[in-house]
Amino acid sequence: MKMTPPSLSIMLRTFAAEDPHGWQRVIDCARAADAAGIDRVLVSDHVVFGENIDAYGRPESGGVEGGRQPTGPDGHWLEPLTVLTYVAALTSKVRLGTNILLAALRRPVVLAKTVATLDVLSGGRVDLGVGIGWQREEYEAAGLDFGERGRLLDDTLEVLRELWTAPRASLDLPSLRFEGIHMMPKPLQAGGAPLWISGRLNDRVARRLARYGSGWIPWGDDAADLGASIPRMRAAVAKAGGDATALRVAGTLTMVRRGDKSIDLDATMAGVGALADAGVTDFQVHLVIPEDYDDAVASLQEAVGSFRAASR
């Protein structure tokens, strides 16, 4: 298997159950992550909500068994690519990722242009994590068929790849057709922004990874049992004609707490070895980050140091 350096990511909390009366804390966390040497900041996505929030807990609709959506339908959610554009202007090193973007809700040609622009302006720091989502109402509000969301995502990824790489782009897909289309600038990263595909271990997701994916974001039961799911997904990607050895995989570190409920950082990072042995290359950690900027930098520097030591 091709060796890739492990990376450490944190989520920016770009949502709130109620109006937070300002989002400066999100921006300060991103700046602190950049200063501390965190490899990547990630943001999540919802455009609108219906009122059937319980669907998140049903795997048959794309949710997670027993899962709970962190806000109600009137929760406040920032648009992820807008947030990352703002963050890009205030940082210089940290990579900028979506985990995940509901890519099919956006018009593909506009999404291609938006991500290419962000990649150019950020100096080639964008990672685009995409998935199909779980909420029927979100697709219906966008005028899209929820039952066709997998095909719509595939068509979107095909448009991205074509416009990002072809000097003269042409496509003939079930959902759209164009010929002799030019889009500049291309993303700064060769081949375009790396695409991270979220989903369960199945043939459809494996084909999507084989054709478009740089990395896999496991979902549901497959995220809970990475030791079993990662080798099976690599085999499925290889069967689908992809380069399974180059596939990066995201995994979340389990937080270990002391008796006083504070996070035991070294014990948490001790979990890196087992996840790496399972095949994880990109580690997400959910930390309690201090509100004061200098304290946040120091806290994240400590996390980076502990992670680097654990991943040697």
pLDDT tens digits for range 48-88: 999 998 888 888 777 888 788 999 999 999 999 999 999 99
Instruction: Write out the two tokens for 2.
Output: 């091709």
Which DSSP letter does residue 111 get? H
Calculate the average pLDDT of the chain: 95
Q: What pLDDT is recorded for position 257? A: 92
- Per-residue pLDDT, averaged over 36-55, amounts to 95
CATH of the domain at 286: 3.20.20.30
Give the long-range contacts of residues 296-302, CB within 8 A, separation 24 or more: 296/28, 296/29, 296/32, 296/36, 297/32, 297/35, 297/36, 298/36, 299/36, 300/10, 300/32, 300/33, 300/35, 300/36, 300/37, 300/38, 301/36, 301/37, 302/265
> Quick one: what percent of the chain has pLDDT higher than 70?
99
Q: Are the CB atoms for 220 and 226 separated by under 8 Å?
A: no
Whether 253 is in a domain gets the answer yes
User: How many CB atoms are located within 10 Å of the residue 40 CB?
Assistant: 20
Q: What pLDDT is recorded for position 260? A: 85
Q: What pLDDT is recorded for position 261? A: 81
- Per-residue pLDDT, averaged over 181-204, amounts to 97
The whole domain housing 233 covers 8-307
Question: Is 25 a residue whose pLDDT tops 60?
Answer: yes
Whether 247 is in a domain gets the answer yes
Question: Is 1 a residue whose pLDDT tops 80?
Answer: no
In tens, the pLDDT along 197-229 reads: 999 999 999 999 999 999 999 999 999 999 999
Whether 182 is in a domain gets the answer yes
Q: What pLDDT is recorded for position 3? A: 63
In tens, the pLDDT along 238-296 reads: 999 999 999 999 999 999 999 888 889 999 999 999 999 999 999 999 999 999 999 99
Q: Considering the entire predicted model, what is its pTM? A: 0.95
Question: Is 2 a residue whose pLDDT tops 60?
Answer: no
Question: Is 115 a residue whose pLDDT tops 70?
Answer: yes
Helix (H, G, I), strand (E, B) or coil at 90: helix
Query: How many structural domains are present in the chain?
Result: 1
Whether 3 is in a domain gets the answer no
User: How many CB atoms are located within 10 Å of the residue 44 CB?
Assistant: 20
User: How many CB atoms are located within 10 Å of the residue 231 CB?
Assistant: 13
Backbone dihedral angles phi then psi of residue 113, each to the nearest 5 degrees: -65, -45
Exposure class string for 127-136: b at 16+ Cβ within 10 A, else e: bbbbbbbbbb
- Per-residue pLDDT, averaged over 155-169, amounts to 98
Q: Which amino acid is at 275?
A: L
Q: What pLDDT is recorded for position 280? A: 98
Residue for token digits 């979506």? Answer: 98
